[in-house]
Copies of this chain bind each other. A is one copy, B any other.
Amino acid sequence: MSDKPIRVTVWNEFRHERSNAAVKAIYPEGMHAVVAEALRRRLGSAVEVGTATLDEPDHGLTDEVLERTDVLTWWGHGAHHEVRDEIAEKVRGRVLRGMGLLPMHSGHLSKPFTLLMGTTCMLKWRDCGEREILWNVRPGHPITDGLSDHLDLPQTEMYGELFDIPEPDELIFISWFEGGNVFRSGCCFHRGKGAIFYFRPGHETFPIYHHDQVQRVLANAVRWLAPKSSSPYAGDGVNVTEPMAPIGS
């Protein structure tokens, strides 16, 4: 593959930051601005980062934008149902053709992610600002580069098992929560030619995306999610009338 920059689109619902003063205080220009800036700062010329939000035309995800996106990050929470079905389907199709997808936190219920998983993607939750420790269970994986054996977040919303997903193709992080729960917090999936990395941290009322190690994971994940193969993908099927080898001899 070439060494051209990875073209990233950071997608955000961008509602809480405008309607909730506490969230606005943490993310005055929206979570997408913080995430985009972190990726630019950490990955430099290896990326070109744009943003898109729910209330833009086509949610900012026109065909043109999707076609030139290598990795799409996704944060949504209260307005998953406002994402139009045909846009969600386009995102799904684009992943199958090779785009990386990085659903964050409550993006577990986003339309593109649930369409790709086929399960409910539901979970337990509790919002009381408890401590979370994410344990690194794949120290050799590119997504864990530069991390120690755990990440420690002093205050977050709890997500607990059962997380109703297909068994991840690669399980990277398992979270411990102060209140007694655990969660598969970093999950890799391969679908069609594309890869998906679900990453749990990110509740809007805490400064999670300002956290150094969280940003490190996001930057590593963008590198890992970028397309890595120019091999053709025949996801539309092929009626091959000619055999490879002689038949009926």
List 8 additional contacts besides A162-B235, A174-B184, A176-B180; criterion CB under 8 Å: A1-B142, A118-B118, A120-B192, A133-B180, A139-B231, A162-B234, A166-B166, A166-B190
Tell me if A180 and B244 are in contact (CB < 8 A): yes
Task: Say whether A230 faces chain B, with CB atoms less than 8 Å apart.
Answer: yes
Interface size on A, residues (CB 8 A): 87
A190 to B139, CA, bound (A): 11
Q: A146-B231, A148-B231 are in contact. Are A167 and B162 (CB under 8 A)?
A: no
Main secondary structure, interface of A, reads loop
- Which of A28-36, A76-84, A123-131 lies on the face that meets chain B? A123-131
Tell me if B193 and A124 are in contact (CB < 8 A): no
CB-CB under 8 A from A148, the residues of chain B are 231-232
Task: Say whether A19 faces chain B, with CB atoms less than 8 Å apart.
Answer: no
Q: A135-B160, A161-B174 are in contact. Are A240 and B124 (CB under 8 A)?
A: yes
